Amino acid sequence: MDSFLELSDGHLVLRFVLGLAALAGFALAARSVYWLLRYVAWGKGDLKTSDISMRLKGVLVNVVGQARVIAEPAGILHLFIFWGFIVLQLETMEYLVRAFVWDFHFSAYIGRPVYNFLLFLQDIFGVLVLIAVSIAAFRRYVIRPKHVVNSFDAIVIISLIAGLMVSKFVAHGAELAFMTTPGHDPAWTPAALFTANILRSLGASPQSEGMFWIHHVSYWIHIGIVVGFANYIPIGKHLHLVGAIPNIFFRKLEPSGALYPIDMEDESIESYGVGKVEDLSWKQLLDTYACTECGRCEHYCPAYNTGKALNPMMIIHNIKDHLREKGTEVIRNKNAEAADNYPPLAGGIISREELWACTTCGACVANCPVFIEHVDTIIDMRRYLALNEADFPAEVARTFRNMENNSNPWGLSSSYRADWAEGLDIPLLSELASAPEYLFFVGCAGSFDDRQKKVTQSFAKILKAADISFAILGPEEGCTGDPARRIGNEYLYWMLATQNIETLNTYGVTKIVTTCPHCFHTIGKEYPQLGGNYEVIHHTSFLNDLLKTNRIQVQASAAMKVTYHDSCYIGRWDNSYENPREVLGAVPGLQIQEMDLNKKQSFCCGAGGGRMWMEETEGKRVNIERTDQALSTSPDAIAVNCPFCLTMFDDGLKNRGAEAVILLDLAEIIAANLVEKPAVIAMGTDAAAE
């Protein structure tokens, strides 16, 4: 029998043929990826080539460092598997070259010490990958976490990875056991050496034909699995190996949560929003390839977890399947006429019930390891239904009319907007010769909702106590347009926003403070798209600054346990978690508690995305679920920083018969405990709200 390094001509020819077959397999995989990218190019928009350094940093942190992946405990397994694949590529490439040059070793080009060290890394990571996939399989098929997708595809992937590692160690072990000149020091590959010792214990010799074939068969099994993996990736759940890195590189760098605008003055636009899959941007289509199907988006989605039709992961998955099917027929088969035979995306492939259930809370976006923008895609489809089909929940029509006619969702006259300020000596901007330092943008809820008016009054009193120069717009203030935009009526948003911007610019406003996260978000992050550029501050950060600079001081409150709720548009969309907690922490006597779902994983109150103005008939009400989560901490009080959250919790507490739990905005807590007057928060009373 020929020695390992002295193959017969027949063996060399066979290896050469198998090597060509492997290359053909990779070419076939590349062809599949090419067509997938062609489908992505079907989307709208141009490549994002700005801020290259920031984009590269994102790749470094989130691809190389797997930062978002390891944010969840199960992500550690993925970290080992990912890095195992990276490190093992040297061995895979060496194996492929040996198909044509049998005695090839990288050590001849990079030096024996470096080569040995790389082999050591491959050996160790091979073991870690094998352990990781074993734990992953146990977790997926024995423990069965709620949001893990147990598909046949997952079994295939786990099996392929395990097969790669086993074939690697058998091939390498046989090489060490029976090759006369192994090309490296076996001490650097302890796992392969362990395998070699097992093979030696079988009593074989270098001339053993059986052991000769153990090496060569396992070697080609390994190559075959690699080729099979390459061809399975474009059709399986691991398509994210193709899509994730470019998706992270081309991720959205605009202000977090800011929707992309539609030019409502462009008369050439024939259809608004996304009705067909090809109406999506190329980045939104790339999102579908990047999805890892990890289930984190659905795990934290308030709609999904209260029994609604919406599953953010399945929206992305179904768009991907639809893109492949339609793209194959229209683009690959060059059958453009077939495009009209497919159902619409909005209201067809993705149902109306799914689209209208979204609260735009951003939990899916914030927790996605590959930066998929679920909310943007959902809103784009809502835009199509609202603007082209006039297809939206019946109760929303009344909200639209109220906003259009009276610039607020309640439909109340603007003449009442400043009634809350009666007797507080607060100037209107129109009464001043020049703009003050701050405009207090009150918002619709703060102006018209009886409960929120008390928050508005409390914050105004704090501003006066701190001697802040401010004024309000009163009747000249209009709705920012946030509900209309999130529901999909971009035209109504544009009307309201441009009117507000004109008013603000006329008065020379530069700084705005508000108690509403939605006003804060829309004016600060989305008005710049229309030429309205202002420094906008939410009252949580404003209060914290006043306290830290001693412009206001507070005294001890009555001892009470306070559970704080993170609003979505200050928490996730603005990444502001410490300001409100520091405000509460500045008041002696308050014991701050956290719900299980807090900060980035906070559960929405259910009002965002225009849901405040829609009926909720499917599953458990989102606000009831969040109220139950708060009540599970046995609080004396619940603290919020948003008028929508205040309304939803107020309804939830009444529904649960828990009116004894005090519901307060941060402004009310601070106003009630200003040093200038005695503390008025008392257990079981409504004194703080008075």
Question: 474 is written with which tokens?
Answer: 């009163």
At residue 680, the pLDDT reads 42
Longest dimension (CA), the chain: 105
- Reported as a pLDDT band with limits 50, 70 and 90, residue 90 is confident
Q: Please say which residue of 388, 419, 442 terminates a domain.
A: 388
The single-letter code of the amino acid at 364 is C
Q: Lowest mean pLDDT: which of 188-202, 283-297, 551-565?
A: 188-202
Alpha-carbon radius of gyration of the chain: 31
Pairing state of beta strands 590-593 and 637-640? unpaired
Phi-psi region for residue 670, left (φ > 0), alpha (ψ -120 to 50) or beta?
alpha
At residue 682, the pLDDT reads 40
Q: What is the mean pLDDT of residues 326-355?
A: 95
Which of 35-38's residues contact partners 24+ apart within 8 Å by CB, and which partners?
A: 35/327, 35/328, 35/331, 35/332, 36/234, 36/239, 36/242, 36/289, 36/324, 38/327, 38/331, 38/332
DSSP 428: B
630 touches 367 (CB < 8 A): no
Three-state SS annotation for 375-412? HHHHHHHHHHHHHHCCCCCHHHHHHHHHHHHHCCCCCC
More reliable by pLDDT, 394 or 85: 394
Q: What is the mean pLDDT of residues 660-664?
A: 97
274 touches 346 (CB < 8 A): yes
Three-state SS annotation for 212-248? HHHHHHHHHHHHHHHHHHHHHHHHCHHHHHHHHHHHH
189 lies in the same domain as 99: yes
Is 397 domain-assigned?
A: no
Distance (Å, whole) CA 257 – CA 525: 8
Q: What is the pLDDT of residues 387-410, one digit of tens each?
A: 999 999 999 999 999 999 999 999
- Reported as a pLDDT band with limits 50, 70 and 90, residue 685 is very low
Q: What percent of the chain has pLDDT over 70?
A: 94
Domain count, the chain: 4
Is 266 domain-assigned?
A: no
Is 506 domain-assigned?
A: yes
pLDDT over 60 at 207, yes or no = no
Average pLDDT for the chain: 90
Task: Give the containing element (helix H, strand E) for 56.
Answer: helix 52-59
69 lies in the same domain as 136: yes
At residue 213, the pLDDT reads 80
Q: Please say which residue of 507, 537, 567 terminates a domain.
A: 537
At residue 399, the pLDDT reads 96
Q: What is the pLDDT of residues 474-511, one digit of tens each?
A: 999 999 999 999 999 999 999 999 999 999 999 999 99
Is 374 domain-assigned?
A: yes
Helices 209-232/9-40 angle, 10° precision: 10
Nearest to 163 by CA among 108, 226, 109, 212: 226
At residue 683, the pLDDT reads 36
| Strand, helix or coil for residue 157 | helix
476 lies in the same domain as 380: no
pTM of the shown model: 0.91
Q: What percent of the chain has pLDDT over 90?
A: 70
Q: Lowest mean pLDDT: which of 194-203, 412-421, 562-571, 602-611?
A: 194-203
Is 322 domain-assigned?
A: yes
At residue 689, the pLDDT reads 42
Task: Give the containing element (helix H, strand E) for 133.
Answer: helix 112-138
97 lies in the same domain as 223: yes
Q: How many Cα atoms within 13 Å fall on the side-chain side of residue 152?
A: 2
Question: 574 is written with which tokens?
Answer: 């603005």
527 lies in the same domain as 571: no
At residue 237, the pLDDT reads 79
527 lies in the same domain as 551: no
Distance (Å, whole) CA 277 – CA 323: 6
561 lies in the same domain as 517: no
Q: Please say which residue of 511, 537, 563 terminates a domain.
A: 537
Q: What is the mean pLDDT of residues 263-289?
A: 94
At residue 172, the pLDDT reads 83
Distance (Å, whole) CA 554 – CA 547: 8
CA angle 610, 470, 429 (to 5 degrees): 80
Q: Lowest mean pLDDT: which of 233-247, 468-482, 567-581?
A: 233-247
Q: What is the mean pLDDT of residues 561-584?
A: 97
74 lies in the same domain as 118: yes
More reliable by pLDDT, 208 or 636: 636
Q: What is the mean pLDDT of residues 421-439?
A: 94
311 lies in the same domain as 352: yes
State which residues form the domain around 309. 277-388
Q: How many Cα atoms within 13 Å fall on the side-chain side of residue 264?
A: 17
Q: Lowest mean pLDDT: which of 199-203, 278-282, 479-483, 495-499?
A: 199-203
Q: What is the mean pLDDT of residues 641-661?
A: 97
pLDDT over 90 at 570, yes or no = yes
Q: What is the pLDDT of residues 520-540, one digit of tens each?
A: 999 999 999 999 999 999 999
152 lies in the same domain as 72: yes
At residue 101, the pLDDT reads 80
35 lies in the same domain as 178: yes
Q: What is the pLDDT of residues 115-155, one digit of tens each?
A: 888 888 888 999 999 998 898 888 888 888 776 766 778 88
Q: What is the pLDDT of residues 439-482, one digit of tens each?
A: 999 999 999 999 999 999 999 999 999 999 999 999 999 999 99
Is 142 domain-assigned?
A: yes
Distance (Å, whole) CA 469 – CA 454: 21
307 lies in the same domain as 449: no
Q: What is the mean pLDDT of residues 560-571?
A: 97
At residue 205, the pLDDT reads 58
At residue 39, the pLDDT reads 97
Report the CATH number at residue 324.
1.10.1060
At residue 110, the pLDDT reads 82
Report the CATH number at residue 491.
3.40.50
Q: What is the pLDDT of residues 99-110, one digit of tens each?
A: 788 777 787 788
